[in-house]
Chain A
């Protein structure tokens, strides 16, 4: 029997439009991406219902986590370099131009001033290794956090002519005395207004 000839439908789909769209999206994401830096001290921030976003300029972030370790970070590289210059004057520890340059690229750090040179010399991946940086001392006998904060505020004022804002980024499990210590340092400098960094609450509170 003569079978009627069925015309096989072509199964290939025209991918051109899809390709266009996907590359458009790709371009958008590449351009808007600000690569997430590996954080030297990852913390799990508590959640709240506030909707105000953290500003990305002129802000110093004090991170408290993993048993009261304190890290400090500033948003802009120029301010960071200026801050290091002030600190190096204060503690009479000279830093080379290259070290300052490298420090400008560091997002945050958490070592006593004596170990800062070694940390600057490491590359970014080695720096982010958990446990390497032991936190900035903030005890009453050796209050380096106070000095860093002061230097950062001066540096922000000099570079941008605005007051630096301070944000505390604490781990949800952190006990209150550790946070209190940081708040006391802020209050000693008459910094009574600051922000607490939180993530958005999703559960029913």
Chain B
């Protein structure tokens, strides 16, 4: 059969540019809709709730081991050592994070076992969020406990004298 010799076999070529464009568009779409960043879970254990409110928070522990942290408004907190009536340290207003409460916590965690003479009897932190604190503050202070590796901490209810204290110091607005 008569055929024109065009020199070499012509390769059938398809322009794939459009197809690649489309594929990348779809990849982008699926990447964005897939929830890649799964949320994290912070485990919290609360103390058993007593039916009688009188029994609540009446833990018999040595005063020199406890540190009470009161969470106030405006991302501020206040802490004191021991009992509110006769605090062994503080009350002091400070902030969250490494410049604020972390320094105090690390210091106390070191100091308390020396004071009690028993490495098992470390610091006990009592966290008392006030009504003016927000959820972020609670997570921040719990996170702080994880960061400084505090062994014993609990979340409790704030009492009226403590509310008066943080009101006086202007972090209850």
Inter-chain CB contacts under 8 Å: number = 161
Say whether A198 contacts B39, CB under 8 Å: yes
Q: With an 8 A cutoff between CB atoms, is B63 at the interface? A: no
Inter-chain contacts of B33 with A (CB < 8 A)? 33, 35-36
Say whether A15 contacts B134, CB under 8 Å: no
> In the complex, what's the smallest C-beta–C-beta distance from A171 to chain B, in angstroms?
7
Q: Is the interface of B mostly helix, strand, loop or mixed?
A: mixed
Q: With an 8 A cutoff between CB atoms, is B90 at the interface? A: no
Say whether B30 contacts A48, CB under 8 Å: no
> In the complex, what's the smallest C-beta–C-beta distance from A117 to chain B, in angstroms?
30
> In the complex, what's the smallest C-beta–C-beta distance from A40 to chain B, in angstroms?
16
CA distance A91 to B152 in the complex (A): 42
Interface string of B22-54 (1 = CB under 8 A from A): 011011001101110111111111111100000
Interface string of A78-100 (1 = CB under 8 A from B): 00000000000000000000000
CA distance A12 to B30 in the complex (A): 29
Inter-chain contacts of B142 with A (CB < 8 A)? 48, 196
Selecting from A124-132, A151-159, A185-193, the interface stretch reads A185-193
CA distance A53 to B38 in the complex (A): 7
Partner of A49, one of B19, B44, B45, B143: B143
Q: For A48, give the chain B residue with the smallest CB separation.
A: B143
CA distance A196 to B20 in the complex (A): 43
Interface string of A161-189 (1 = CB under 8 A from B): 00000010111111111111001001110
Say whether B41 contacts A172, CB under 8 Å: no
Q: With an 8 A cutoff between CB atoms, is A118 at the interface? A: no
Q: With an 8 A cutoff between CB atoms, is B137 at the interface? A: yes
Q: In the complex, which of the residues A29, A51, A197 has the most CB atoms of chain B within 10 Å of its own CB atom? A: A29
Inter-chain contacts of B97 with A (CB < 8 A)? 205
> In the complex, what's the smallest C-beta–C-beta distance from B171 to chain A, in angstroms?
13
Interface string of A40-78 (1 = CB under 8 A from B): 000001111111111100000000100000000000000
CA distance A36 to B71 in the complex (A): 35
CA distance A46 to B46 in the complex (A): 20
Q: With an 8 A cutoff between CB atoms, is A26 at the interface? A: yes
Q: With an 8 A cutoff between CB atoms, is B163 at the interface? A: no
Q: With an 8 A cutoff between CB atoms, is A160 at the interface? A: no
Q: With an 8 A cutoff between CB atoms, is A143 at the interface? A: no
Say whether B139 contacts A53, CB under 8 Å: no
CA distance A192 to B35 in the complex (A): 30
CA distance A194 to B20 in the complex (A): 47
Inter-chain contacts of A55 with B (CB < 8 A)? 41
CA distance A180 to B33 in the complex (A): 33
Q: For B137, give the chain A residue with the smallest CB separation.
A: A176
Say whether B34 contacts A36, CB under 8 Å: yes
Q: With an 8 A cutoff between CB atoms, is A9 at the interface? A: no
Q: With an 8 A cutoff between CB atoms, is A141 at the interface? A: no
Partner of B39, one of A45, A176, A194: A45
Inter-chain contacts of B132 with A (CB < 8 A)? 175-176
Say whether B27 contacts A176, CB under 8 Å: no
Q: For A169, give the chain B residue with the smallest CB separation.
A: B39
CA distance A25 to B97 in the complex (A): 41
Q: Which residues of A contact B (CB under 8 A)?
A: 12, 15-16, 18-19, 22-23, 25-26, 29-30, 32-36, 45-55, 64, 167, 169-180, 183, 186-188, 190, 192-201, 204-205
Q: Which residues of B contact A (CB under 8 A)?
A: 13, 15-17, 19-20, 23-24, 26-27, 30-31, 33-35, 37-49, 71, 96-98, 129-140, 142-143, 146-147
